[in-house]
Structure 1
C-alpha cells in the first residue's frame, strides 16, 4: 500500500513527517512525502520518496508578500491573518493541482493542517453520497493542539491560557473559523470542479472530528484535554531515525573551544530589522559574558566573527542543542520539541500563530522565563530572560523534562496507530 504524506508548510511541518515515513516504511508501506520543492533537502537521505510540489516556500518568505505577512505578525494577529490568507490564495491553484495529482495515485493520505480541507474535498464521496466516508483512508496529523477546548493549557489559541473555562472553548472555536478561511482556497477550487457545495464551518469541524487524528506532541508538554474529540490520539514527538547528523567542522571546533554557548535562531521567521535584532542579541550575550551561536535562518541575522561569538547557517538541532547552555528561539513546534528533548533551558521569542502557546508552556513547565514577544525584544529584556534560563533551577528542570520526553517513541506509536487504522479500513 502506498501512503502519501503531505508536508505543506515550513521545515517544522515537513521534518516530523519524515520520521513518520521512516517508521511506516519499517512496517512495510511504500511512503512518499510531498513538500515545497525547496525543502527536498529535509527529506534527502531518509529513505522516504520525495514528491516536490510545484512551488518553493523559502524564497517567497524572504521577500514580497510572504515576508510582509510575517513582519505583520509581530504587530497584530488581524494583519497576520489577512496577509496569510493572501499567501494561501496565491498558491491555491498550484496546491490544488499538485495534491489532486498525488492523491489520485496514493492508497492512503496523511495530511497536515494546511492541506486537510483540500484532501477532504478530493476524497469526498460525491453529492449523491452526502457526508459519507471518504473514498480513501485519510489521517490528519498536527503538531500543535488546535482543537477548540476549555482547557487553556491544552489549546494553542486560548483567551485565558491558564484557566479552564467555556470562554476558551468559544475563543478557540472562533480561531478555527478564521483558520478555515485562511486555508480553504485550494479546497474551494476542488469542490467547485467536482460540483460540490462550499463547506460551512460546522461541516468542516464534523469532518475533522470523524477523521483519525494524530497530535505529535509529548503529553509531558501538552496535557491531555478531556474535551478533545474521540478521533484524536496523542503521541510523543516524531523524531527521524538519523536525527543526530554531524555538525559543520567550524561549528564543532567552536563548541569544543569553550563553555557551552547560548544558541539564538528564529527558524523560518523573517524579521523587519535583522541588523537591529543581531545587535541586540550580541549586546545581551556580551553583557552576560557568555558565548553565543547565532543562526542566520530566514530572519537574516548576522553577527561579526568575534571571540565567543559564531554565526552559522542551518545545523541539525538534535546534534547542536544538547551542547548549548540555553536555546533562544521563535517558539515553532519543531524547534520547541528539539529544545525540550535536548534537556536545556529556553528563551522563547514568539512571532506568530501557535508560537505564543509554546512560549507559555515552556514558562509554565519551568524550563524558560515568560516569553518575549518579537516586537518587544531588546538587549535588556533578553539579558534578563537569559539570567533566568541560566539559573540552576531552570537547568535541572529542563534536564528532567528532557529525560521524560526522550523516553517516548512518538513516531513509532504514530506508525502503529496508522497501521491499525489502515488494517481496519481494509
Structure 2
C-alpha cells in the first residue's frame, strides 16, 4: 500500500468536460489528506493550480487542435474518419509522452489514468512499478446487457451482439492508440509491446472508477467488482461572481434557457448562431447563449430583452438559474444539467454525446436528440417547447434530487481505500464497506 504522503498523479487529456471532473476528484482526494498532481495539457494549468493542485504538463492540447482543425467536428459522428484523425494526432503528441509521464510520476504512490491517457499512465506505472487504477467518465466495461456507447449510441442489441460490439470497439480503440503506445511510448520506456490485438482482451483487467451516476446509467448486472460507479465528480466555483449585466438579465423575467456547446467548435459559427437566435425568437423563451470555444458567435455582454451573450459561466452557478439547457451532450455538461434538475435539449457533435442524449431521453428529461447538420429554427424551437412541458420538468427535478444526494468523490475515495491503494490517514474515521467492491 502506498504511503499517504506519496502524491497521486491523475493523467487526463481532452476538453474541459473531461478535465474538470478529474480536477474535482483530485481536490477531494487532497482534502482527505492525499497530495495530488494533475497531468494534463498546458491550457488547463490555470484551472489545476486555482484548485490548489500540482500541475504536470502533458502534450495533448485539444483546444489548439480544434482551433486549427474546425472540420474535425464536422466529421465527429463518422467513426472511421475520427479514428483515422485521432490516430495521427495521438502519434504526434506521443513522441513526448514517455518523458513527460516519467517526470509526472516521480515519487508518486498511485497513478490514475483517465480515458485516452489510460494506456500511457498504465505504461508509466509498469515501468516504475507504481500502483495503477483506471478512471472513466463513460461506461466502457463490456456487458451483455448494455451496448457500447460509441458504436451504437445507446441503442438496444441482443446480449450476444453486445459482447461482439465491445470486441469491435476494443479493436477500434487499439487501432487509434497502437502507433502512439506500441510504436513510441512502450519502446521508449523499455517495455514489451502488446500483441496485434492490443491489451484489452487480457483476463486480468485493472480496476476502474466510473465518474457518473447510476441514476443516469444503471449498473449492468454482469459488471465485475473491479468496475465501480461512484457518482459524478463536480468541480464547483462558489467564489465566482457573475457580471452585473448577466445577473440583471436573469432577474428581469422568467428563467431563461441556456444554449451553449462548451468546447465544441463550428466551421460556420455565424450561420449556426443565426439559426439558434431565430429558434429562440420563435420559441418565445428568454435565453443565455454561451459562445464557449467557438460553437456560437457573439460578443460578451451583448443582449436585448430576450437573448444575452456570454463566453462562459460556471455551470454550478448558471444552470440552477436556467429553465432548461440546450447543449452538445458532453459528459460534463450533461452531468451539470442533470444535477441542476433541468431538462436538456441535446445536439450531438461527436463521440459519446449521442449516448448521453439517449440516456436522458430514456429518463424522460430530454426530447429526442437533434441533428446538428440538419438543424432548423423550427426543430430547435419545438425541442425547447417539449423540454419546457411540465412532465419533463418534473422528471428533471426528481432526477436532480437523486444525483445531488450522491457523493461521487467520497465514494471514489472509499473505493481506493477499500481496494488498498491508499493508506489510511491518521485520525481518519473508519471506512464503511462498499457494495460490490472486490
Aligned to 1:366: 364
Q: Does 1:135 align with 2:129?
A: yes
Q: Is the 8 A contact 1:152 1:164 kept in 2?
A: no
What's 1:354 paired with? 352
How many residue pairs match? The answer is 415
Equivalent position of 2:64 in the other structure: 59
User: Is 1:144 aligned with 2:135?
Assistant: no
Q: Give me the whole-angstrom Cα distance separating, in 2, the residues matched to 1:212 and 1:244.
A: 35
* TM-score of the pair, normalised by structure 1: 0.91
Q: Give the 3-state SS of the residue equivalent to 2:280 in structure 1.
A: helix
Q: Give the distance between the partners of 2:219 and 2:238, measured in 1 at CA.
A: 27
Alignment correspondent of 1:128 = none
Is the CA contact (8 Å cut-off) linking 1:8 and 1:115 kept in structure 2? yes
Report Cα offsets for 1:389-425 as digits up to 9, x if no partner.
0101110000000000000000111012123334578
Q: How does 1:12-411 map to 2 (within 5 A)?
A: 12-54=17-59, 56-64=61-69, 67-74=70-77, 76-124=78-126, 135-152=129-146, 155-158=149-152, 161-188=155-182, 189-200=184-195, 204-206=199-201, 210-240=205-235, 242=237, 245-303=240-298, 305-411=303-409
CA distances 1:85-123 after superposition (whole Å, capped 9, x unpaired): 222122111233311221233221011111111222223
The 8 Å contact of residues 262 and 327 in structure 1, kept in 2 or not, is answered as: yes
Change (3 A) 1:200 1:140: same
How far is the alpha carbon of 1:280 from its aligned partner?
0.8
1-side partners of 2:370 and 2:131: how far apart? 42
Q: Secondary structure at the match of 1:140?
A: strand
The answer for the alignment partner of 1:3 in structure 2 is: 8
Provide closer, same or farther for how the CA distance between residues 207 and 70 of structure 1 changes in structure 2, counting only shifts above 3 A. farther
* Structure with greater helix share of residues: 1
Superposition TM-score, scaled by structure 2 size: 0.88
Uncovered stretches (5+) of structure 2, i.e. residues with no partner = 1-5, 425-438
Structure 1 gaps, min length 5: 126-133
Q: Deviations over 1:20-76 (max 9, x none)?
A: 112211221111112110112322432222223356331221113xx33222115x2
State the superposition RMSD in angstroms.
2.3
Provide closer, same or farther for how the CA distance between residues 58 and 155 of structure 1 changes in structure 2, counting only shifts above 3 A: closer
Q: 2:87 aligns to what SS in structure 1?
A: helix
Would the alpha carbon gap of residues 182 and 243 (structure 1) be closer, same or farther in structure 2, given more than 3 Å must change? farther
Taking a change above 3 Å as real, the CA distance of residues 87 and 10 of structure 1, as seen in their structure-2 partners, is: same
